[in-house]
Every structure is written in structure tokens, then in C-alpha cells.
Structure 1
Amino acid sequence: MWARCAAATAVALSATASAANLGQIGPVFEITEQHAIQYMIERLGKMEKSGELARLERETQDRARKAVAEPTPVAGLSETFKTRTYYYDPTVTVPENIVDGTGRVLVPAGFRKNPLEVFSLSKHLLFFDARDERQVGYARRLIDHYKGRVTPILVGGSYLDLMKRWDLRVYYDQRGTLSNRFGIKQVPALVTQEGPLLRIDELRVQG
């Protein structure tokens, strides 16, 4: 009896083992996944041999030099068509208490102060577009008229080229920070101080 059970069990196990061996279905390939870093190294090597890498480096350097020499023009400005004069109040309001390390309030929230009460604008500010030679010539005449007491600020064009031409320091209104703050819409625009206010004149090019 026990012998028959043992034999039957052996046959069943043998059949199960045979059923589990399904054999090979199609060809078998070795799994080889190339590492991403290795791929990048090989890719850069190919680009270097072909000269593509050197070309990309030159293009990147050229774009960087151009961005420095001739920044993006300030958007939203046009050449003055109709002259306009208005005033800008530079007074600032403290939005929240300014305290020291012990929590003592140094400047309370809501405090207002006009910086022109502390210092004066030593030079006029002249905004213009150096891509327009008429504006460049007009700006030069204004600078001479005010005997150099003018700070030239570009909203377009190359300030480096103009510095070389004029042998004078020229600034650029990056991202339109100042022209937007002053509400300038047309150039050339001349900013001068009148007491506690700034006077902005959007001027038409003359001559």
C-alpha cells in the first residue's frame, strides 16, 4: 500500500516538473543596457571628432558676447511722436515694520520718505535708442548742451560701440527697469529733478 502511494507521488512530481519546463521560445539575447553617462561620453566624442562640438561652442560664445554687447531692447517703447511732459514722485512707503535684533521698531510700517530729500540728482538721465542714428545724434547734442551733466541710458542698441565712439560711459536700461518705473513710453526721454519730483520730458528728435 505504502509502496503504491510512494510510486504515485513520484510519478506526479515528475509530471509536474516536466510541465514546468516550457522549453525555449525564440532566440535568447543577453540584456545589455548602456549607461546614460557612457552614452553621453560617446556622443560628445563623436561630436568632437566631427567638429560639431567646436561649432556649438563658438555659437554659444558668440551669443554670449552679443548679449553683453547688445542686450535685448526694452519692449513697449517707441520713438516720440507727440511730446509729453509729466512728473514722477519717487516717494517710497515702508510696507511693514523694520526692527532690530531685539525686536525694537526702527521704522514703522506706513512710513513715507522721498529719497530726493536726502540726495539730489546730480545729472540728467537721458533715455534713447542707439539703433536710431537720429536719436544718437540728438542725444550727443543734448549732452553737449548740458556740458556733460547727462547720464546716457540706452533702451536699444550697443552701449559698448557707443562708449567707443563717444569715449564716454554709457549705461543700459536692463529689462526696462528704470523706464518702466518712470512710466516712459517714448524716447528720447529726459529725466530731471524739480524739487522733490522728477520731471520726465519725452522729446521729439530735432534736426
Structure 2
Amino acid sequence: MRFSDLILLGGLALASSLASAIDHGRIGPTYPIKEPDMLEWIEKRVAAKVASGEALRYQQQQTEKIERKLLNPAPLQSVTKATKGRTAYYDPTFVVDENVADDRGRILVAAGTTINPLDRVGLSRPLIFFDARDTSQVAFAKRFLDSRAGLAKPILVGGSYFDLMKLWDTPVYFDQQSALIRKLGIKHVPAIVVQEGKRLRIDEIAL
């Protein structure tokens, strides 16, 4: 680079620094910069909604929505009404994948061990799965419970367990997230599950 170029660059740099340091005065009116306090704004909005009753109405609507969902769960889509009888069996036997040890490292159950939970805990009461939205299934389930002197567990795949529990004055359950019917392989209802030896027998009943 030539010496003349260095002088030119130096002059430009000096001019730039001087320009940034010059006070150009006040061109127009100035105002202090003030950003809104977000928390204060939210508090005012909430206070206004509380005062108008909107917050209470919203809270009541949400409470009612949750109650409806809890008392009347969405029906399971993976199961339909039985059109013909079918019998199947479920064997709960499984093989332990890895050693099960206690906190001292002592092996309680060795890998490769075959376990059938029914050897320890049996199914003390039959299970009856049905859709409470279908009056014929409700009537069938009631007859089955009465024939067992109430010693059976009614499990819904649709309808309100709460309404049925009040009507029958007995505990009624709902198969949340299809956990049981998926494990047992139930495709159609009503279905009755009983223990038969070391297996569970599933009878799907066509009404």
C-alpha cells in the first residue's frame, strides 16, 4: 500500500470519529424511554376479568369440562359389539430378561426364569367388559353380575361408569387407554374373562 493511501485512510478514520463525537443539538422534542411493565399489565388484565366475572365463568366452564371428561370418558375405538361368539385364551407367562437383584447385589430372580403371575395371584373375580351405551349389553352385564351375586368386576369400554355405578350401587370401572383389552386381545364386547388353570379364558358373547 502506498504512503498516500495510508494518509487517506487515516484521514477518513479521523473524520469518522469526529463526526460521531459532534453534538448536533436537539432536533425535536425528546421523551424518556419507558417500556411497559409486563407483570403489571397482566395483573391489571386479570383484575379486570375478575371484576367483570369473566374469570369465574371461565373457571366454572373448565371445571365442568374436566368433570364431564372424568365421569364420561371417551369410548374406546379399538373394540366393537360382538356379532358372533368367540373364545380365546391369554397366557400371562413371561421370561425374565435380566437378573433382578436387591440393594446388596444378591440375585432374587435369575435371567431366563419363567414366571406366571397366576401362580402367585389368581383372578379372584370374573371380569365383564361391555359398552354402557348399548342397553342390551347393560342388561346382559346386569344379569351376569346378579348370577354371580355381585362377585364380578364390570369394566366399561364406553358410556358413563359414574351413572351406572349410581344406578347399580356397586363399583364400575373403565378400561382407561384400552390397557386391559389390548393386553387380553379383546376385540368385541360383551366379553367375560375368567381364570382357567394357569390361563385366562376370554369369551366374547354375541347378543
- Give unmatched runs, 5+ long, in structure 1: 1-15
For residues 162 and 19 of structure 1, the distance between their equivalents in structure 2, rounded to whole angstroms, comes to 84
53-62 vs 89-98, greater mean Cα deviation: 89-98
RMSD over aligned CA atoms reads 2.3
- Whether the 8 Å contact between 1:72 and 1:175 is mirrored in structure 2 is no
Partner residue of 1:193?
195
Partner residue of 2:105?
103
SS in 2 for 1:40: helix
The structure-2 alpha-carbon separation of the partners of 1:31 and 1:106, relative to structure 1 and needing over 3 Å to count, comes to same
Give the CA deviation at 1:18: 10
SS in 1 for 2:129: strand
For residues 129 and 159 of structure 2, the distance between their equivalents in structure 1, rounded to whole angstroms, comes to 12
What does the per-residue CA deviation read over 1:6-38, in whole Å, with 9 as the maximum and x for residues that have no partner?
xxxxxxxxxx58971233455533322222222
Residue from 61, 65, 68 that aligns with 2:67: 65
- Whether the 8 Å contact between 1:94 and 1:109 is mirrored in structure 2 is yes
108-117 vs 27-36, greater mean Cα deviation: 27-36
Partner residue of 2:148?
146
**How many pairs are equivalent?**
192
For residues 30 and 93 of structure 2, the distance between their equivalents in structure 1, rounded to whole angstroms, comes to 79
For residues 162 and 51 of structure 1, the distance between their equivalents in structure 2, rounded to whole angstroms, comes to 36
For residues 197 and 17 of structure 1, the distance between their equivalents in structure 2, rounded to whole angstroms, comes to 92
- Whether the 8 Å contact between 1:114 and 1:196 is mirrored in structure 2 is yes
Q: One-letter code of the match for 1:69?
A: L
- Whether the 8 Å contact between 1:187 and 1:202 is mirrored in structure 2 is yes
SS in 1 for 2:55: helix
Q: TM-score, normalised by structure 1?
A: 0.84
Q: One-letter code of the match for 1:114?
A: N
The structure-2 alpha-carbon separation of the partners of 1:120 and 1:24, relative to structure 1 and needing over 3 Å to count, comes to same
Q: 1:47-196 counterparts in 2 under 5 A?
A: 47-196=49-198
The structure-2 alpha-carbon separation of the partners of 1:192 and 1:18, relative to structure 1 and needing over 3 Å to count, comes to closer
Give the CA deviation at 1:94: 1.9
The structure-2 alpha-carbon separation of the partners of 1:145 and 1:22, relative to structure 1 and needing over 3 Å to count, comes to same
Q: TM-score, normalised by structure 2?
A: 0.84
Q: One-letter code of the match for 2:30?
A: V
Q: One-letter code of the match for 1:67?
A: K
24-33 vs 183-192, greater mean Cα deviation: 24-33
Give the CA deviation at 1:204: 1.6
The structure-2 alpha-carbon separation of the partners of 1:39 and 1:147, relative to structure 1 and needing over 3 Å to count, comes to same
SS in 2 for 1:126: strand
Partner residue of 2:3?
none
